[in-house]
Amino acid sequence: MSISAHNLVWGVRHKTIVADVSLSVAPGETLGLIGPNGSGKSSLLRLLAGLKQPLSGRVEILGQDIARVPRRTLARQVAFVQQNAATDTNVSVRDVVRLGRTPHRSALSGWSAADEAVVSAALERVDMTGHRAQAWQTLSGGERQRVHIARALAQSPQVMFLDEPTNHLDIHHQIEILRMVRDLDLTSIVALHDLNLAAMFCDRIVVLKAGAVVDCGTPDAVLTETLLRDVFRVNAEVCAGPIPCQTHIRFKAA
Amino acid sequence: MSIADDKEAGAGWLAIFLGLALIVLAVAVALAAAIGDYSIGVGTVFLAVTNGLGLTAADIPPIEQSVVWDLRLSRALVAALAGAGLAICGAILQALLRNALAEPFVLGVSAGASTGAVAVIVLGIGAGSVSLSMGAFAGAFAAFAMVALLSNGATSGPNHTILAGVAASQLFNALTSYIVTTSGNAQQARDVMFWLLGSFGGVRWPDFQLLVVVVFVGLAICLLMSRSLDAFTFGDEDAAALGVPVARIRLILFGVTAMITATIVSMVGTIGFVGLVVPHAARYVVGPMHLRLLPACAAVGAIFLVLADIASRVVAEQQTIPIGVVTAMVGVPFFAIILYRARPQQ
């Protein structure tokens, strides 16, 4: 298993936000994390990436308990793409992607040809090579998200976490970003709001409700009318497409 | 967009920039040693310096030797170090707090130093200039300790830390005002006012010796952590995701900036503007990445304060204008040009 979580519990004060979650992700798999607002998607994602410490339970990534792995070592294997990470600093696209090499460089080591090659490849992968000298502030939302993904790729990770990477993007860019993520040669876990996009691009889906896993499986197995009513409180019609992974959800007004 | 955009060109550009800056700094320091109520020729200044270093034994009037070596050179070098130190602290706090308005005094250090200094000047706790510095230093660290405590050892995020700094500043400023109004006379109030605005009068070689160690050790630590500082570009969590031990780095760097600032404030008072503006100016020239930015800040800050000190001594005859007044009056027009040129191109 690439990632496995065992009985994760996390909360603040008297409120439990992630309640006894266990899951596992196979190498190369794209796992979608869906659930209504406040269901604990973002928190779970951060627990899995080691950015929050669970109250109990543990996470193993590539066979190691991440609580015992130094932060920098972990960052060479695991990348995390926040939603809409922003800055006021006047940085260029290349500067941003170069930050991805941070965990691979010691305090005194120079910028190597290998670093440069990784950065160039990452920019190429997200089709932003032509924008490398452009200022961050002048990029569109879709371009910024692509640069964030390039920066994550520059970490040379084996596992990538993405927290609602398609928020605030138009449908073209939503599809473009998710196709890119799916086609990466990585294990990825993506928190998503759009159920149809989750159905289109995820190998498997984990459904969260009130911090607990309600269901887990392939999109066509998980996304049923009953589940949508119970978890998301919507009436919808689920149409199985002509080919697998083409499950489509049509929401009803009442 | 920064001028030093291309990486390879950037390294060469930085070397040229720093080389030029050092030459300008040397000229500025020489001018600072030559200019004053008692004007001394640059040639004599040069000989006085080499005499002082023990390299020559040129025959120049003892009074000129003493003015250059004992008074003006030490003063100019302390000014340079103070400018460098404040600019570095400003750059680091702007990065860690992700706030363009952050400056060395945002953590309450200057307010605490003022209270400590006022306690010495007005209440007469201890006596003499040594204890004034000691009082200021103690006050500065008391304020920093309060901020560290209020922000859980600086782990609670930028805004929380800034608010803790505001609270500490308000408290210590109130204490300062309380002491001055209840216990001070008019002369003491004037002394306090003068000290608060900053002055290089009275600094000597021992001040330089302490400050050179503090500033260079501080700069070295910050340079070692410059990669981590860069990683804060998109915030604390993002830095953590890039493998940076966020809490530890923040605490160390806050401690280093507090140490540098407290040392400077205890020697020369609260010199505003340098720490706020120099990092922005330097960023405009060498870009935002800290391995380049910090040396550039040090160079620009040093030159700026040496020049400001010269101005403070020559603008009004027979008196010295507080250095804080000069930094603002010289700095604002200069900064206005940069702000204008760096305005977003929409």
Chain A residues in contact with B231 (beta carbon < 8 A): 99, 102
Chain B residues in contact with A96 (beta carbon < 8 A): 233
pLDDT of residue A75: 95
Residues A93-102: what's their mean pLDDT? 94
Q: What is the DSSP letter of B53?
A: T
For residue A35, being part of any structural domain is answered with yes
Cβ <8 Å between B227 and A107: yes
Residues A246-253: what's their mean pLDDT? 83
Is the pLDDT at B249 greater than 70, yes or no? yes
Chain A residues in contact with B288 (beta carbon < 8 A): 89-91, 95
Residues A110-137: what's their mean pLDDT? 92
Ramachandran sector of residue A223 (left: φ over 0; alpha: ψ -120 to 50; beta: rest): beta
Cβ <8 Å between A51 and B240: yes
**Can you say how many angstroms the Cα of residue B243 is from the centroid of all Cα atoms in its chain?**
31
User: What distance separates the 2 farthest-apart alpha carbons in chain B?
Assistant: 64
Residue A195: give its domain's CATH number. 3.40.50.300
Which residues 6+ apart lie within 8 Å of B7 measured at CB?
A94, A111
Architecture of domain B7-341: Orthogonal Bundle (1.10)
Cβ <8 Å between A90 and B2: yes
Cβ <8 Å between B234 and A87: yes
A61 and A177 assigned to the same domain: yes
For residue A248, being part of any structural domain is answered with no
B77 contacts B29 by C-beta, under 8 angstroms:
yes
B76 contacts B306 by C-beta, under 8 angstroms:
yes
A95 and A150 assigned to the same domain: yes
Is the pLDDT at A89 greater than 90, yes or no? no
A71 and A1 assigned to the same domain: yes
Is the pLDDT at B39 greater than 90, yes or no? no
d(CA B2, CA B300): 17
A72 and A166 assigned to the same domain: yes
Cβ <8 Å between B283 and A85: no
A70 and A180 assigned to the same domain: yes
Per-residue pLDDT tens over the stretch B155-212: 677 888 889 999 999 999 999 888 888 877 888 777 777 777 788 887 889 889 999 9
- Chain B residues 94-113 with CB within 8 Å of chain A: 98, 100
- Identify the residue with better confidence: A75 or B129: A75
pLDDT of residue A108: 76
A157, closest residue in chain B (CA to CA): B242
Three-state DSSP state, A23 = strand
Chain B residues in contact with A133 (beta carbon < 8 A): 1, 5-6
> In which band, very low, low, confident or very high, does the pLDDT at A95 lie, cut at 50, 70 and 90?
very high
A116 and A23 assigned to the same domain: no
Q: What is the DSSP letter of A39?
A: S
pLDDT of residue B242: 95
Amino acid at residue number B72: R
For residue A247, being part of any structural domain is answered with no
Which residues 6+ apart lie within 8 Å of A144 measured at CB?
A84, A136
For residue A246, being part of any structural domain is answered with no
Is the pLDDT at B288 greater than 70, yes or no? yes
d(CA B26, CA B33): 11
A192 and A143 assigned to the same domain: no
> In which band, very low, low, confident or very high, does the pLDDT at B58 lie, cut at 50, 70 and 90?
confident
For residue A227, being part of any structural domain is answered with no
Q: Is B221 on the interface with A (CB under 8 A)?
A: no
d(CA A101, CA A99): 5
Least confident interval from B184-198, B215-229, B236-250: B184-198
Amino acid at residue number B148: A
Of B225, B233, B235, the CB nearest to A91: B233
B148 contacts B154 by C-beta, under 8 angstroms:
yes
For residue A134, being part of any structural domain is answered with yes
pLDDT of residue A141: 87
A186 and A117 assigned to the same domain: no
For residue A2, being part of any structural domain is answered with yes
Is the pLDDT at B225 greater than 90, yes or no? yes
A239-243, B266-270, B316-320 — which one is most confidently predicted on average?
B266-270
Least confident interval from A92-101, A194-203, B222-231, B315-324: B315-324
B21 contacts B27 by C-beta, under 8 angstroms:
no
Provide the shortest C-alpha distance from residue B62 to chain A (in Å): 47
Domain assignment of residue A98, given as a range: 88-156
d(CA B248, CA B147): 16
Q: What is the DSSP letter of A160?
A: E
Cβ <8 Å between B231 and A102: yes
Q: Which two tokens stand for residue A145?
A: 């998200």
Provide the shortest C-alpha distance from residue A76 to chain B (in Å): 8
Please give the C-alpha separations between residue A217 and each of A162, A220, A243, in angstroms, as whole numbers: 19, 8, 17
- Chain B residues 4-33 with CB within 8 Å of chain A: 5-7
A32 contacts A68 by C-beta, under 8 angstroms:
no
- Which of the residues A48, A72, A89 would you substitute to probe the B interface, choosing the one with the greatest number of B C-beta atoms within 10 Å? A89
Work out the percent of chain B whose per-residue pLDDT is above 70: 93
Work out the percent of chain B whose per-residue pLDDT is above 90: 35
Is the pLDDT at A63 greater than 70, yes or no? yes
d(CA A7, CA B287): 46
* For chain B, domain boundaries: 7-341
A98 and A144 assigned to the same domain: yes
Is the pLDDT at B325 greater than 60, yes or no? yes
In this structure, are strands A159-163 and A187-191 parallel, antiparallel, or unpaired? Answer: parallel
In our burial notation (b when 16+ CB lie closer than 10 A, e otherwise), range A3-12 reads: bbbbebbbee
pLDDT of residue A241: 67
Is the pLDDT at B3 greater than 50, yes or no? no
Of B72, B50, B55, B53, nearest in space to B63 by CA? B72
pLDDT of residue A169: 84
Least confident interval from A56-60, A86-90, A124-128, B287-291: A86-90
In this structure, are strands A248-251 and A236-239 parallel, antiparallel, or unpaired? Answer: antiparallel
Chain B residues in contact with A82 (beta carbon < 8 A): 234-235, 237-238, 241
A44 and A21 assigned to the same domain: yes
| Structural domains counted in chain A | 2
pLDDT of residue B8: 46
Q: Which two tokens stand for residue A33?
A: 């994390």
For residue A235, being part of any structural domain is answered with no
Amino acid at residue number B247: A
A40 and A143 assigned to the same domain: no
pLDDT of residue B7: 47
Residues A37-46: what's their mean pLDDT? 92
Residue A239 forms beta bridges with which residues? A248
d(CA B30, CA B46): 8
Residues B15-23: what's their mean pLDDT? 91
pLDDT of residue B6: 44
Nearest-10 crossing angle of helices B246-268, B109-121: 30
pLDDT of residue B71: 87
Work out the percent of chain A whose per-residue pLDDT is above 90: 70
A1 and A55 assigned to the same domain: yes
Please give the C-alpha separations between residue A21 and each of A38, A46, A161, A206, B217, in angstroms, as whole numbers: 15, 13, 17, 10, 48
Of B234, B244, B245, the CB nearest to A85: B234
Amino acid at residue number B323: I
Chain B residues in contact with A162 (beta carbon < 8 A): none
Per-residue pLDDT tens over the stretch A17-28: 999 999 999 999
pLDDT of residue B1: 37
> In which band, very low, low, confident or very high, does the pLDDT at B345 lie, cut at 50, 70 and 90?
low
A135, closest residue in chain B (CA to CA): B1
B242, closest residue in chain A (CA to CA): A75
d(CA A37, CA A53): 22
d(CA A176, CA A116): 25
Chain B residues in contact with A93 (beta carbon < 8 A): none
